[in-house]
Amino acid sequence: MASWAARGRGVSASAAQRPVQEVTVVAPVTAPQAADPAPRAAVDPARVQRRTLALLFNTQIIGGVGVAIGISVGALLARDLAGIALSGVAQSSAVVGGALLAVPVTRVIQARGRRPGLALAYAAGALGAVLVVLATVTRSVPALFAGMFLFGGGTAANLQARYAAVDLATPERRGRQLSLIVWATTIGAVAGPNLAPLAGSAVTGFGLNELAGPFAFSAVAFALAAGVLLLWLRPDPLLVARGLAPAPERAAGQRRPGLREGLRAVAGNPAARLGMSAVAVGHLVMVGVMSMTPVRIGEHHTAADTLRIVGIVLSVHIVGMYAFSPVMGALTDRLGRRPVILGGLALLVTACAVAGTAGHDTARLAVGLGLLGLGWSATMVAGSTLLGESVAADVRPAAQGLSDVVMGLAGAGAGALSGVVVQTSGYPTLTLLAAVATVPLLALALRPQRTVEEVA
């Protein structure tokens, strides 16, 4: 180890005495000792980026399985414990939890780096899954919803990971590398629900409710993801990126910005506003329409047929959301961020038109939900990329955390209101209102923005 360190270039003594997050890096980059107990030696940013992408890809699969396997039975478990009227509150609790848990996670990321922040989010998800299992034993409804709230930490970690993927990415590859991590979620999202029966049968021998099995599996998956990140996400990509940032962005002795500073940074930057708005509006439209599609299907089908059709339609939707994210990333890098956001808006509006006029045509509903997923993917990848590159390195995690909070709350609000709209005016009205909700983002995207740095 000593011989390896001797071959690297050293860090100045003054830099070594600064706090962890304020380390000044002399090329090649040096990993900060206090946050990452690796030897104080030369670090190649390109090598760190490759290692980071490989690690995040694998933890996204593990975390994706943990989220999907639990969410797939969350409403059923809530129905058994709390009744049909409150069955939807379980998923809403997880969505709100994922949004609000982004606040403390962002603070940890700002102070200590990506590694402890992502691990904290997964740890919260594991604790929530354990609490859900205990709720099935005690038949406690408050414990169930509290557990589902903390369970949202798994979603928060999966979302924050996409930003860790571009801390050290070069401008011409940011979209593709961010989308690669989004794409990895496809594997977990598809595999998770299919593992639920196996997980359920595995716990019945211990006297547990079969529906508790998937959450026990989620707890293990989240704990594994947290452990892998804590052990191997070294050096921390965010801390290395800070060392590469211009001196004004890493002035020593300053407090790390919080969400308030992140809000100011986004509010004063048209490109950042567009990026955050694209993520939030895309998520709002997607959740609003998707959450009520199973209800629409169930209006004219038996229970057995409804489950079968919902499975097909939502599978097409998930493929649209995640499977084509590398394509969206490549387009984001080749065409620019704003054109892909506009393309995503066009897909969302088209999806609303197709789904809203499909009636009870299953094939047409599937096409509409597939387009809805594609529109979400475009706005998510291009918007996240644009936001991350439009703010200074020092305030970037705060702005990204704020974006996830806004996105989560927008989705939770859309999910809650969608049921009211369908009950009072019907599913076609919901899709019409969802399409109208894209108009402010369209105006923002078409407005000339001098500070947008689009990569051709």
Domains 42-244 and 256-456 share a fold: yes
Residue whose pair of structure tokens reads 């547990």 in the numeric block: 208
Q: What are phi and psi of 12, to 5 degrees?
A: -60, 150
Query: 328: which 2 tokens?
Result: 């969206």
- pLDDT in the model for residue 456: 35
* Contact of 344 with 278, CB cutoff 8 Å: yes
Q: pLDDT (tens digit, 0 to 9) for every residue of the chain, 456 residues total?
A: 434 334 443 333 334 344 443 333 334 444 444 445 444 446 789 999 999 999 999 999 999 999 988 877 777 788 788 876 676 677 778 888 998 999 999 999 989 999 999 999 999 999 999 999 999 999 999 999 999 999 999 999 998 998 999 999 998 899 999 999 989 988 887 787 778 788 888 888 888 888 888 899 999 999 999 999 999 999 999 999 988 876 555 544 456 677 788 899 999 899 999 999 999 999 999 988 987 887 777 777 665 666 577 767 877 888 898 889 999 999 999 999 999 999 999 999 999 999 999 988 889 999 999 999 999 999 999 999 999 999 988 888 999 999 989 998 898 888 878 888 888 998 999 999 999 999 999 999 998 755 444 433
pLDDT of 328 reads: 95
* Confidence at residue 256, expressed as pLDDT on a 0 to 100 scale: 66
Break the chain into its structural domains and give their ranges. Answer: 42-244, 256-456
Measure the CA–CA gap between 306 and 294, rounded to whole angstroms.
8
What are the CA-CA distances from residue 428 to residues 27, 109, 283, 320, 355 (Å)? 58, 42, 19, 21, 8
As a whole number of angstroms, the distance between CA 390 and CA 282 comes to 19
Q: What is the pLDDT of residue 156?
A: 92
Contact status, residue 416 vs residue 430, Cβ threshold 8 Å:
no
CATH 3.60.21.10: does it fit domain 256-456?
A: no
30 by DSSP, 3-state: which?
strand
The pair phi, psi for residue 101, each rounded to 5°, is -70, -15
| Cα(306)–Cα(301) distance, integer angstroms | 6
Residue with structure tokens 């108009």?
A: 439
Q: According to CATH, what is the number of the domain 42-244?
A: 1.20.1250.20
Is this prediction's pTM over 0.85?
no
pLDDT at residue 253, rounded to an integer: 44
Distance, CA of 101 to CA of 97 (rounded, Å): 6
Which helix (H) or strand (E) element contains residue 29?
strand 29-30
pLDDT for res 42 = 66
